[in-house]
Structure 1
Amino acid sequence: MSKSSSPSSGHRPGTGSTVDFETRFDVRSNSLRRTVISVLHEAQVLTRGELTEAVAETVDETTEGSDRQTRRRVRFSLAHNHLPRMEEAGIVEFDRKTVAATPRLDELASPRIDEFQLTQHA
């Protein structure tokens, strides 16, 4: 998303309304991204700080280090890896302050797996 647009603009160039198999697999293959999907599916829009806190809470349960170190690692990882990757896939929109879910994120949050897609790629 450009710096002049906002997460609520709804413009996602080059993205369709459904998530293809490869994108679904790539986005869901990482535990931090799965946590972002879960958290944003519930909240729809959060500040980047709120998202960082929510994700860091799940990371704290599985890693060693102080809360401050964990939040710092999560904030960096979200900003430089996961959010840009998810935005490119049309899953989220974000700017300097806010992260918002898109309809494609809601599709990924669904526990249903399309058997037809699985058989096509088997």
Structure 2
Amino acid sequence: MSSDAQISGDGSRGGTATASREWYDVLRHPERLHLLAALEDGASTLEELVDAIASREATDRETIRIGLVHNHLPRLSDYGILEWDGETVSRSVDRPLPVDDLSALFADGDRADERTLETLVHPVRTRLYVILSEFDRPVSIEALAAELLDHEVGSFADRSEARIALHHVHLPAMADVGAVEFDPRTGTVRGPGR
């Protein structure tokens, strides 16, 4: 776990328990990311999901099917993230998650590791990743703080608190794993792939 893991989504001490448990439990596993990415275009049968995951992983189909049926699908269903009737699977939650981007990190192999994934699935950082991937120019910490407050991401009391958490916690952690470029002197951030 990274050294900033003891900081909650709003910058206060408290560990991962103060952030949505579902974000960590569900998104920390690459196969669940691949599964959610496969459902981006709509419902799939169990066999279609097995095929989609098998095309991305060097695992046999039977092992994938067992993992889906006995682990991943029940867990995602319990959290209400997808609906599964034993044969058909569909997403029931439409969140602004960069599922495709996170899933692609694991296809690259070089950039993805447990630390990268754990850093990016934090609710505040996931939202930052989505916001920053929409810009083709640097964005100020002030603008990001306002955006987080407007969308009620984290439990920041005001823009100043959000700005401090961004500057000292979230953006350095994201820059450390290569997800963004952050210049603390100018207070500007460049998003993924820029």
Structure 1 unaligned runs (5+)? 1-19, 64-69
Q: Offset of 1:57 from its aligned partner?
A: 1.0
Partner Cα separation in structure 2 for residue 25 and residue 117 of structure 1: 15
> How does the TM-score come out when normalised to structure 2?
0.42
CA contact (8 A) 1:40 1:46 kept: yes
What SS class does the counterpart of residue 127 from structure 2 fall into? coil
Higher helix fraction (1 or 2) = 1
Q: State the partner residue of 1:113.
A: 127
Partner Cα separation in structure 1 for residue 154 and residue 35 of structure 2: 24
> How does the TM-score come out when normalised to structure 1?
0.64
Q: Output the amino acid matched with 1:107.
A: R
CA contact (8 A) 2:43 2:89 kept: yes
Residue deviations 1:21-66 (CA, integer Å, cap 9, x gap): 221121110000000111101x220010001110111112xx5xxx
- Largest Rg, 1 or 2: 2
- The 5-angstrom pairing of residues 79-98 of structure 1 reads 79-98=69-88
Q: Output the amino acid matched with 2:56.
A: T
59 and 108 in structure 1: CA distance in 2 versus 1, 3 angstrom threshold = farther
Q: State the partner residue of 2:30.
A: 31
Structure 2 unaligned runs (5+)? 1-18, 100-125, 129-147, 156-164, 171-194
What SS class does the counterpart of residue 54 from structure 1 fall into? helix
Aligned residues: 90
What SS class does the counterpart of residue 52 from structure 1 fall into? helix
Residue deviations 1:61-109 (CA, integer Å, cap 9, x gap): xx5xxxxxx100000000000000000010111112211111x2x3163
Q: Does 1:75 align with 2:65?
A: yes
Partner Cα separation in structure 1 for residue 81 and residue 66 of structure 2: 19
Q: State the partner residue of 1:59.
A: 57
User: Alignment identity in percent?
Assistant: 29
Q: State the partner residue of 1:44.
A: 42
Q: Output the amino acid matched with 2:79.
A: A
Q: Offset of 1:117 from its aligned partner?
A: 2.6
